[in-house]
Amino acid sequence: MSEPQLDVRAIQPRDRHPQIFGTFESLAVGGAFILVNDHDPKPLYYHFNAERAGTFGWEYLEDGPEVWRVRISRTA
């Protein structure tokens, strides 16, 4: 079964993090989704680390220069 993708490129920037965190919260432990973005989501990684340290996995699948794809998983 393939993991769902969340493409945030068409979402207003102010609405992206709430959408992403909502998707993460809906995951069961062991679940994951693929984030698709138009820039390196490194600030999002820091946001996750500040609020959800130890509960998520972060794996770059594609790192630009036009599209970034990150597999975000729920580990706890």
Class (C level, CATH) for 5-74: alpha beta
Q: d(Cα 45, Cα 5) in Å, to the nearest integer? A: 17
DSSP character at residue 66: S
What sections of 11-60 are H helices per DSSP?
13-25, 42-52
Domain boundaries, the chain: 5-74
Q: What is the pTM of this model?
A: 0.94
pLDDT in tens, 8-65: 999 999 999 999 999 999 999 999 999 999 999 999 999 999 999 999 999 999 999 9
